[in-house]
Amino acid sequence: MNAADRQQGPLAGHTVVDLSRALAGPHAGMMLADLGARVIKVENPETGDDTRGWGPPFVGPEDDLQSTYFMSCNRNKESISLDLKSSDGQAVLRGLLERADVVIENFRPGVMDRLGFSTAAMHGLNPRLVILSITGFGHDGPESQRSGYDQILQGEAGLMSLTGSGPDDPQRVGVPIADLLAGMNGATGVLAALVERERTGQGKVVRTSLLASLIGVHAFQGTRATVAGEVPQAQGNHHPSIAPYGLFNCKDGSVQISVGSEKLWASFAAAFGLDPAAPGFASNADRVRNRQEVIAAVERVFAEYGAVELLEKLNDAGIPAGKVRSLDEVYAWEQVASQGLVVDVEHPLLGTVSLPGPPLRFFAQGDAAETTVKDHAAPPLLDADGGSIREWLGLVPVAATDAPAGAE
């Protein structure tokens, strides 16, 4: 299914111009596309989005290999290649902005101004335009000009100090979480600005950053620092404020449990022959202070059970528990399929491919009929829709541009 033909979802009828590259902005654009918006991805004519070259893995024919990284964040979009430093590219972009509801960009502060598309200029073209701008460290302040890449921000924003086996083992999260969170925050901001536009008739600028998005999810670790004056540190697979809560060894592997209340602790202790009121174990605060003793006690009783039997016993006792799945197990899991979390799309070079699906579902009022968008388009080939987009704008194709390709 061609992305331009999609007319379903809460954002059907809205047009998004996605000038961003890499992950944070493209992820925001994909979220809006999943909600039914028409998302037009503007790419560098020579190489396209940076992520088209990120790999391996690559798949497809040897003379036109496709990056699976690119495929992760560009579902349901159209692609047009434009040299934004050329008169032609700028003319096409002006036409897009005049018709768009939203524009997404994640250049360093000042780049859009130098290209002639400052926020004032874009609102001069289209006062109803919602402008989403994502940076690494923020749009102002003493370090606003620093380039922002996910792992750099995971370190700078303190996330790596909280992640790992211990204080001397800082680890990055296994996905580019700063980028993904910035994209999610950006999409949320866009939706709020579109709602406000219904009241005011005016678009506005939405700004977020990788730094802001990581600090925004410090949660209880943040208030440990700002309120309690503690400096949280990494401590592996066990919760810093609840015990027992984490990954525990058993006879043939490991399981995860979450004993998040005193009621659950009483049930857990009864199921496994532990004394819930033993010295040092009677309250959650006691158990957190005596975490290593609690872990040792739990793993002594778990040593009698294999993982499958243990999970059944925990379930029977009403204790939240689970295993650690590999990604191949996750995507083969019936529960994942039941939630629409794997979608099949038809790719022009690869045929039918499966992609991780969107996380939201929608249902009609009253009869609860599901209205979630089910038809998805594959990530586009570079400039696959350039001709049709120019035709939509009333512009004729050009053979070449008049300046070197690419913006900063």
pLDDT tens for the chain, 408 residues long, are 566 666 789 999 999 999 999 999 999 999 999 999 999 999 999 899 999 999 999 999 999 999 999 999 999 999 999 999 999 999 999 999 999 999 999 999 999 999 999 999 999 999 999 999 999 999 999 999 999 999 999 999 999 999 999 999 999 999 999 999 999 999 999 999 999 999 999 999 999 999 999 999 999 999 999 999 999 999 999 999 999 999 999 999 999 999 999 999 999 999 999 999 999 999 999 999 999 999 999 999 999 999 999 999 999 999 999 999 999 999 999 999 999 999 999 999 999 999 999 999 999 887 678 999 999 999 999 999 999 999 999 987 665 444 333 334
Residue 356: phi and psi, rounded to 5, are: -60, 135
Same domain flag for 201 and 307 = no
Same domain flag for 301 and 183 = no
Bridge partners (DSSP) listed for residue 103: 17, 131
Same domain flag for 36 and 176 = yes
Identify the pLDDT of residue 234: 95
Same domain flag for 312 and 339 = no
**Alpha carbon distance, N-terminus to C-terminus of the chain:** 33
Same domain flag for 197 and 338 = yes
Same domain flag for 276 and 375 = no
Residue 123: phi and psi, rounded to 5, are: -75, -25
Identify the pLDDT of residue 4: 64
Same domain flag for 314 and 349 = no
Angle at 162 between CA 159 and CA 166, to 5 degrees: 140
- Number of independent structural domains in the chain: 2
Same domain flag for 62 and 100 = yes
Write down the catalytic residue from 101, 179, 252, 344: 179
Residue 241 maps to a domain: no
Compute the distance between CA of residue 39 and CA of residue 391 in angstroms, rounded to an integer.
Answer: 16
Compute the distance between CA of residue 203 and CA of residue 356 in angstroms, rounded to an integer.
Answer: 32
Residue 327 maps to a domain: no
Residue 251 maps to a domain: no
Per residue in 108-137, is it b (16+ CB within 10 Å) or e — as a string?
A: bbeebeebebebeebbebbeebbbbbbbbb
Same domain flag for 175 and 308 = no
Bridge partners (DSSP) listed for residue 80: 42
Range of the domain at 109: 3-217+334-393
Residue 246 maps to a domain: no
Compute the distance between CA of residue 351 and CA of residue 39 in angstroms, rounded to an integer.
Answer: 22
Identify the pLDDT of residue 116: 95
Per residue in 326-355, is it b (16+ CB within 10 Å) or e — as a string?
A: eeeeeeeeeebeeebbebebebeeeeebeb
Same domain flag for 11 and 121 = yes
Compute the distance between CA of residue 4 and CA of residue 39 in angstroms, rounded to an integer.
Answer: 8
Q: What is the pTM of this model?
A: 0.91
Residue 249 maps to a domain: no
Residue 130 maps to a domain: yes
Query: Where among 291, 319, 347 does a domain terminate?
Result: 319
Pick from 156, 128, 168, 171: nearest CA to 215? 156
Residue 188 maps to a domain: yes
Same domain flag for 122 and 61 = yes
Same domain flag for 27 and 70 = yes
* 3-state secondary structure labels for all residues of the chain: CCHHHCCCCCCCCCEEEECCCCCHHHHHHHHHHHCCCEEEEEECCCCCCHHHHCCCCEECCHHHCEEHHHHCCCCCEEEEECCCCCHHHHHHHHHHHHHCCEEEECCCCCHHHHCCCCHHHHHHHCCCCEEEEEECCCCCCCCCCCCCCHHHHHHHCCCHHHCCCCCCCCCCCCCCHHHHHHHHHHHHHHHHHHHHHHHHCCCCEEEEEHHHHHHCCCHHHHHHHHCCCCCCCCCCCECCCCCCEEEEEECCEEEEEECCCHHHHHHHHHHHCCCCCCCCCCCHHHHHHCHHHHHHHHHHHHCCCCHHHHHHHHHHCCCCEECCCCHHHHHHCHHHHHCCCEEEEEECCCEEEEEECCCCCCECCCCCCECCCCCCCCCCCCCCCHHHHHHHHCCCCCCCCCCCCCCC
- Does the active-site annotation cover 367? no
The CATH code of the domain that includes 89 is: 3.40.50.10540
Identify the pLDDT of residue 408: 40
Residue 382 maps to a domain: yes
